[in-house]
Amino acid sequence: MKSPIKKTIHILPLACIIVSAITAILFLLVAYKILEINITFFTAFRIFNVALLILFAIKRKSLTVWILISIFAGAEFGHDLPEISKNMQFLSDIFIHLIKTIIAPLIFATLVNGIAGHNDLKLVGRLGWKSILYFEVISTIALFIGLAAINLSKAGVGLTLPENAMAPVTAAKAHTWSEFLLHMFPENIAKSIYEGNILQVVIFSIIFGVAVARIPDSYRKTMLRFTEGLAETMFKFTNIIMYYAPIAVFGAIAFTIGHLGFDILGSLVKLLATLYVALVIFLMGVILPLLLFLKIPIKKFVQAISEPASIAFATANSESALPAALENMERFGVPRKIVAFVIPTGYSFNLDGTTLYLSLACVFVAQVAGISMPFTDQLILCFMLMLTSKGTAGVSRASLVVLLGTLSSFGLPTTPVFLILGIDVLMDMARTTVNVIGNCTATVVMAKWENAFDEEKALTFENVD
């Protein structure tokens, strides 16, 4: 006979699902004024729902579950106490600051160790051209999906600019090919680390790794011991910081909802829905078939990406998910030498979610402005956006600034872009998540291409909490 405690543990997940579903339905009915409910009762019911989810997280003792439930708790807090929530961004900023201290040393250590540790410089060259080829093909598919989605939904047609549409935003300067190529190479590695320029850190680490691979074994082994120890230390450092992640997620979501409110969707719900549907189509129509073709265990892959993806969604920042992505994909069966090269490089070149968003957003701007853009013009503009977006994946909501600068360089009005400001945080969550998932997928593709994927590790993968 089962004890009452064990029976409660089994019933708890079902209770959470039922209560959460009822809460969501009631919220929609109240929002669209289909049903009137006593405000005090409805607030108490929502708080009960959050309390039930927190109890479930305590029972599961899973960091991923805690992160996901922090999203719901933060949304409720932001909705009920907006004035307090507007001052809670510092909670997520602390997490971002801590994570940023890890990025450069982790990329440096893993790349140098991956390149010099195997003494196979031909592998670096092969991974380089294979990765770039894969990145460009997948990014181009994402671009066309974004174009098709916005042209079908016509989300910008008929929208009216709000009164505060002229709020000032700093426009970015569009890069030429020569400027982009020059910007890839660091002039001062300390400056690159300080500015968070991932691409320059990657270039420096690759050249440094090649140099280490070419020095005598006595010196090379010393450097390899140092970089391997640094990488392991950074992973442990990450594990410690991750215990703070639920608090950071709670603060980020509470700040967002408290500042913008749920009504921010309003007339822009169609645009938001267009992006989310397009991203889902990309994941289901491109990423999933690719994984199935490669015979990757889908359930285990979802487990492997669940933590970095949920962090990326909650913080809208790719950098915050980088350590978890590096560690999980290695435990999933992708060799460290491939993970260490592909993911950091993908942060600059494999921006699937950002590319899709930019192609969608530029046509949306033209629709709101009432400008008819032939398909050829749309393609030219979007390919330019792909160029100017390189290296922006790790910066929260930098895509909006890039979009403004590119539109200005093409002579298109930038005023309609301000319509996106209200929901950009919600859009950034989705596109950043797809960026992270796309980069995790790229490591598996490269491992399969190199015949280096460990099937056994993938099948036995379990999240470590």
Residue 195 has pLDDT above 50, yes or no: yes
Q: What per-residue confidence (pLDDT) applies to 395?
A: 46
Q: What per-residue confidence (pLDDT) applies to 269?
A: 76
CA distance 261 to 36: 20
In CATH, which of 1.10.357.10, 1.10.3860.10, 3.30.70.360, 3.90.850.10 is domain 89-241+262-459? 1.10.3860.10
Residue range 363-401, pLDDT digits in tens: 888 887 777 778 777 777 777 666 655 544 444 445 655
Helix (H) or strand (E) holding 125: helix 121-153
Residue 224 has pLDDT above 80, yes or no: yes
- Cα→Cα distances 11→16, 47, 385, Å: 9, 19, 50
- Every domain of the chain and the residues it spans: 4-85, 89-241+262-459
Q: What per-residue confidence (pLDDT) applies to 393?
A: 46
Q: What per-residue confidence (pLDDT) applies to 169?
A: 41
Q: What per-residue confidence (pLDDT) applies to 172?
A: 43
CA distance 428 to 110: 28
Q: What's the whole-number average pLDDT of the chain?
A: 79
Please indicate whether residue 396 or residue 49 has the higher confidence score (pLDDT).
49
Residue range 96-139, pLDDT digits in tens: 788 778 878 887 887 787 777 655 556 667 777 888 788 888 98
Residue range 319-363, pLDDT digits in tens: 778 888 888 999 999 988 888 888 877 876 788 888 898 888 888
Residue range 139-162, pLDDT digits in tens: 889 988 999 999 998 887 766 554
**What backbone phi and psi angles, to 5 degrees, belong to 87?**
-105, 15
Residue 280 has pLDDT above 90, yes or no: yes
Supply the DSSP symbol for 15. Answer: H
Q: What per-residue confidence (pLDDT) applies to 321?
A: 86
Split at pLDDT 50, 70, 90, the class of 263 is low
Q: Is the dihedral of CA 92, 94, 98, 101 positive or negative?
A: positive
- Cα→Cα distances 368→379, 382, 383, 420, 458, Å: 18, 17, 21, 11, 47
- Cα→Cα distances 35→22, 25, 43, Å: 13, 10, 15
Q: What per-residue confidence (pLDDT) applies to 61?
A: 76
Question: Residue 81 CB: number of other CB atoms within 10 A?
Answer: 13
Burial of 193 (0-12, 13-18, 19+ CB in 10 A): buried
CA distance 327 to 235: 7
Residue 292 has pLDDT above 70, yes or no: yes
Residue 240 has pLDDT above 60, yes or no: yes
Residue range 72-95, pLDDT digits in tens: 888 889 888 888 888 887 887 788
Token digits of residue 314: 């909650």
Supply the DSSP symbol for 174. Answer: P
**Counting runs of H as helices and runs of E as strands, what totals does the chain give?**
22, 0
